[in-house]
Copies of this chain bind each other. A is one copy, B any other.
Amino acid sequence: MSKRIAIIGAGTAGLQLGLYLLKHGVTPTLFTDRRPEEYSGMRLFNTVAHHHVTVEREDLLGCNHWPSDEFGYFGHYYYVGTPQPLQFYGDLVQPSRAIDYRIYQPKLLEDYISRGGEVRYKTVAHEDVAAISSEFDTVVVCTGKGPFGEMFKKVPALTPFDRPQRALCVGLFKGVGPTQTRAVSMYFSPGAGELIEIPTWSFNGWTTALVIENHIGGDLEVLANTKYDEDPKAFIKLLLDKLRKHYPTLAERIDEQEFDLANGPLDILQGGVPPSVRESHALLDNGKLAIALGDVQATVDPVLGQGANMASHAALILGEHLVTHDVYDKRFIERVDNARNDRVLGATRWTNYMLNSLGSLDPNLLQFIGAISQNRHLADEFTENFNFPELQWDCFSSPERIQAWIQKRLSGREDAREAAAA
C-alpha cells in the first residue's frame, strides 16, 4: 500500500517536499487555494534569495529552471554607516539566486502537477485538518496563513519577542543601477535600520528587491506606514530622501527619473514579522501526527534571508524521513527534528540575535564587523555561512564565541583545524 501524505500549503517548503516525494515514488496530495495561472496577478509575496545550498536542492529535485550562471549572484557587499563608514565584500563559494516567487512558485507547482502530483484546490481552515488526516497517514502543515500556527504551540524559550522587531517595507524596484559584481548588498544605518538589496529576476527581467528593515520608533519607520497607492510620487520621493540620508551608496546608483516599483503597484509589501518558533508537531485526536514545516514551525524576520532556506532544508529532511520510515509517530518526529532542527533553530537564533544586536549596537557585533571588514577571508567565510546558519550561531551565540571565531582565524588556527578534520 502506498503512503498517503497530505501537504497543506503550496509555498516553497510544500512544493519542494511534494517534488521530493514524487521523485521517490510517493504521490502526495497538495492542498492549495491557488492555481498556477493565478500567481502573476498577485501582490508581491516577499523577497527571497535562495542560498546555494537551496539551489543545490532544486538541482536534486529537477526544479532549477533558473541556472546560476545566468540568474545567480556571487557575494555580499556590506556597507556600515558608522561615523567612519565601512565598505567591504565577501564571496559565496557558489552563486545564490533570487526569483520573484510569483514566478518561482507556480513553476514548481506546474512541475509537481506534470509529474503526477495530486492537487486539491480548496481553502483549508485549521479546523479541517482533523478530517483531512483521516484520509492520510500523516498531514504536513506548511501554510502560515490564518490560525494554522495555533495548532502548534509557541516554544517560549525560542520565541524571545512577542512582536515584530522591524517595521518592514519590501518592494521590487526599477532604476537601481547594478553593483560591480552581481551581489546582494547589506546596508546598516545604526539606530535607524538595515536595508538588503537583492538582484531579483521578475516578470520584466532584472529588478532590484529592497528589503527595508526599519527600527521601531526610528527615522525610517515612516517607510512602513506610508502607502504607495495613496500617492505613488510622494512615496517614491520620501523613499529617495531616506535612502540618500541613510543608505547613500545605494542612493548613488539610483536613476531618480526611472526609480519606481518594477512591475506596478503590487510590487510592494509593508508590515512586520513576529519571530516565533513553534512545536514541531501536534498529535491529533485520532492519533495521527500533524507536522509543522517551514514558517509554521519557525518564522523569522527577513533581515538575513533565512526563512525560505531553512524551510527548504527542513522540507527535504522531512521528505527523506517520510520515504524511508513507515510509522509516523513521536519517534518519527524525534528523528526528523534531530535532523532538521540545528539548522532551523540556528537560523532563528542567529536572526533574532542580529535583530537585537543591530538595534542595540552590541559592541561584540561591532567588533566582529570591524574584523571582517579588514580581512577578506573572514568576510568570505561570514558570507558563505549565510548558507549554514548553524555555523553562524556557533559564532554568535556568546561574546566568547565571537572572540574565539575571530582569533582563531587571525592566528591561522583555522588551518590547523582543517588539517585535523581531514
Contacts and interface: CB of A to CB of B under 8 A. Distances in A.
A115 interface: no
Judged by DSSP, the binding face of A is helix
Contacts of A323: 417, 420-421
Given A394-B325, A408-B326, A416 B25 contact: yes
Interface string A339-374: 001100000000000000000000000000000000
B342 A338 contact: yes
Interface stretch (A187-195, A199-207, A398-406): A398-406
Contacts of A404: 326-327
A217 to B, nearest CB: 32
Contacts of A84: none
A329 B401 contact: yes
A180 interface: no
A324 interface: yes
Nearest to A398: B329
A381 to B, nearest CB: 15
Given A25-B416, A326-B404, A416-B25, A331 B421 contact: no
Q: Which of A327, A329, A421: most chain B CB closer than 10 A?
A: A327
B394 A331 contact: yes
A178 to B, nearest CB: 39
A82 interface: no
Given A326-B404, A329-B398, A400-B329, A420 B25 contact: yes
Number of copies: 2
A324 B401 contact: no
A266 to B, nearest CB: 41
Nearest to A397: B331
A24 interface: yes
A327 B335 CA distance: 27
A393 interface: yes
Contact of A393 (B331, B400, B413, B419): B331
Contacts of A421: 320, 323-324
B331 A420 contact: no
A100 to B, nearest CB: 33
A115 to B, nearest CB: 15
19 contacts: A24-B420, A25-B416, A320-B421, A323-B417, A323-B420, A324-B417, A324-B420, A326-B404, A326-B413, A327-B400, A327-B401, A327-B404, A331-B393, A331-B394, A331-B397, A331-B401, A338-B338, A338-B341, A338-B342
Given A25-B419, A323-B417, 15 more contacts: A24-B420, A324-B421, A325-B394, A326-B413, A327-B398, A327-B400, A327-B401, A327-B404, A329-B400, A331-B393, A331-B394, A331-B397, A335-B342, A338-B338, A338-B342
- The 8 A-B residue pairs whose C-beta atoms are closest, nearest first, are A24-B420, A326-B404, A331-B397, A327-B401, A327-B404, A323-B420, A327-B400, A338-B342
